[in-house]
Amino acid sequence: MFPTSKFKTLTILTLIVVFVLVLSIWLMYQHFFGEGILSKLGIKKGYSEETLTIADDTMNIIAKESTLKELIGYYEKNKVKRDDIVVVKLEGRAGFPRKIAAVPGDTIEFEGANLKVNGKVLENSEGKPFLFPDIIRDSLEGKVPEDSYLAISDQTSPSSFDSRQFGFIGKEELQGKIVNEE
């Protein structure tokens, strides 16, 4: 048998190793599948939160002067999804909200001036189709390239300042994700 002091030391070391392993597994789970207690401790999933007030009405789905939460840097560790409301940041311009209408691999085509994504004509929050100017349609038709996204406002006009004017955007031009303030 072990002398009492060696047995105590071995037991304590075993408990410490088990505790560290359980804690490591739990922290990894929290990081990948939810914030839980980490959020309460101020540890985020690679992004910061800031309050955002919408100054214009280009996104009818967001009321002008609404106060929302922007998750800055969210897309550095998270996937961009169709229908996400994002803050687009183009060089020389302040960030502005837009909706992701198409992601890599989606098929874009046009029915007249109307935008179709994966065979379906897209409509804004009022049920009106998005109109695209002739000049940009050819550059957008086909499969959305890897690391490219189609970002649109809720306005249907072909002159709206979104992908109808500047084409696809890259992930690096996504400043953050907009979520309801809770």
- What's residue 136's pLDDT? 87
Task: Give tens-digit pLDDT for 47-83.
Answer: 777 776 666 555 555 555 566 788 888 888 889 999 9
> Is the pLDDT higher at 18 or at 52?
18
Query: Left, alpha or beta for 147 (phi > 0: left; psi -120 to 50: alpha)?
Result: left
Going by C-alpha positions, the residue among 115, 122, 119, 123 that lies closest to residue 107 is 119
The average pLDDT across 15-34 equals 77
- Residue 159 pLDDT > 90: no
- What's residue 43's pLDDT? 46
Return the minimum-mean-pLDDT range out of 23-32, 104-113, 143-152.
Answer: 23-32
The average pLDDT across 134-141 equals 88
CA angle 142, 162, 61 (to 5 degrees): 110
Q: Look up the pTM and report it.
A: 0.68
- Residue 95 pLDDT > 80: no
- Residue 19 pLDDT > 80: yes
CA angle 123, 96, 67 (to 5 degrees): 90
The tokens 């599948």 sit on which residue? Answer: 33
Q: Which of 27-31, 91-95, 111-115 has the highest mean pLDDT?
A: 111-115
- Residue 15 pLDDT > 70: yes
